[in-house]
Copies of this chain bind each other. A is one copy, B any other.
């Protein structure tokens, strides 16, 4: 993987990741395809929405259908009919958030599979092996996610374990052709985070991610952590903010210098009948849309807005029709990917700070003194 930086506007950066399966323009949003499917969508629909990279998940795929089945298909791309790059998460976060009877040792984590109750082991070497079998274009190190809240001692022990695992992941990865990203941990303690980052840079990775955020902490704490850490991330490597966030979070984090995002919000909210439009959200359960023959967003170019009314989408939502989840997802993913395109365009034109100011102003969010946009939300 090659990371090319085209231009910078304030701290916001525009560039691209060049990989054998295609390029990814940054700042990039990666739709989440946890179980080898971006829920409800075909790959062709993702491409039409502008997706250049999607996320897959070690944890889910090793449990079901199993890495071996996917390897027999020639990897995750052939398995799910997606030809562009894939970034796979290592399973560290999911072991923490989804697995029961979790036992953490120096070696790794033993847990009960939420799929069939089997006892499963996942550690640094296994996480790398699975990601190699999936034939990911970008693999993530296997880390220990620190809960929130956590004492300083807990956060430090967890962070140090993650660093030892990071080194083992780097070894296990060897000279595999996939890019490998490190993940900064350290809970909500900035100095622990900085230490984590320094050691990761010392080990050396193709990109650096901020992990263990958006785990229940106040939004303000998340934003301060981003402000504190992003300037310290190596300039010449892509910077990935894991699992974040709302459109507002993304615009803020881009303003701080983040290049890559993933989040389930556009797809999950779609299934719950929430549609992102210009400066707000349509909640289809609201009766006000029952006879509203307008498209969700008259200015949107997505398939859904081209052909369907709010009343029709509300009808499908109320009737629990699968087509409703589909059409809503198509719209929301298009919204997120269009937002990224607008962000990149603004950076290219040197107008990103104006873009961000307008973006927050339209949402009634005022910038905090001393910070262009942060602390706003």
Interface size class, chain A: 35 or more
A323 to B329, CA, bound (A): 12
Cβ of A311 within 8 Å of any chain B Cβ, yes or no, is yes
Q: List B contacts of A363 (CB < 8 A).
A: none
Give, as a whole number of angstroms, the nearest-CB distance from A72 to chain B. 6
Q: List B contacts of A103 (CB < 8 A).
A: none
Partner of A322, one of B64, B68, B69, B322: B322
Q: List B contacts of A322 (CB < 8 A).
A: 39-40, 322, 325-326
A69 to B35, CA, bound (A): 38
Could you say how many copies of this chain the assembly holds?
A: 2
Cβ of A222 within 8 Å of any chain B Cβ, yes or no, is no
Cross-chain contact B315 with A39 (CB below 8 angstroms) = no
Q: List B contacts of A318 (CB < 8 A).
A: 64-65
Binary per-residue interface labels of chain A (6-46) against chain B in the complex, 1 for a CB within 8 Å, 0 otherwise? 00000000000000000000000000000111011110000
Cβ of A321 within 8 Å of any chain B Cβ, yes or no, is yes
Q: List B contacts of A40 (CB < 8 A).
A: 322-323, 326
Cross-chain contact B37 with A323 (CB below 8 angstroms) = yes
| A35 nearest in chain B by CB position | B319
Give, as a whole number of angstroms, the nearest-CB distance from A314 to chain B. 8
Cβ of A279 within 8 Å of any chain B Cβ, yes or no, is no
Cross-chain contact B323 with A41 (CB below 8 angstroms) = yes
Cross-chain contact B311 with A73 (CB below 8 angstroms) = yes
Q: List B contacts of A189 (CB < 8 A).
A: none
Given contacts A65-B311, A73-B311, contact A42 B323 (CB under 8 A): yes
Cross-chain contact A311 with B69 (CB below 8 angstroms) = yes
Q: List B contacts of A41 (CB < 8 A).
A: 323
Cross-chain contact B315 with A64 (CB below 8 angstroms) = yes
A79 to B128, CA, bound (A): 49
Cross-chain contact B309 with A73 (CB below 8 angstroms) = yes
A290 to B68, CA, bound (A): 11
Given contacts A65-B290, A321-B35, A323-B37, contact A312 B72 (CB under 8 A): no
Cβ of A351 within 8 Å of any chain B Cβ, yes or no, is no
Binary per-residue interface labels of chain A (298-338) against chain B in the complex, 1 for a CB within 8 Å, 0 otherwise? 00000100011101101110110111111000000000000
Binary per-residue interface labels of chain A (223-244) against chain B in the complex, 1 for a CB within 8 Å, 0 otherwise? 0000000000000000000000
Cβ of A195 within 8 Å of any chain B Cβ, yes or no, is no
Cross-chain contact A81 with B308 (CB below 8 angstroms) = yes
Partner of A312, one of B39, B73, B307: B73
Q: Which residues of A line the B interface, CB within 8 A?
A: 35-37, 39-42, 64-65, 68-69, 72-73, 79-81, 290-291, 293, 303, 307-309, 311-312, 314-316, 318-319, 321-326
Known: A42-B323, A322-B326; 15 extra A-B contacts, CB below 8 A, are: A35-B319, A36-B315, A37-B316, A37-B323, A39-B321, A40-B322, A40-B323, A64-B315, A65-B314, A69-B291, A69-B311, A73-B293, A79-B309, A79-B311, A80-B312
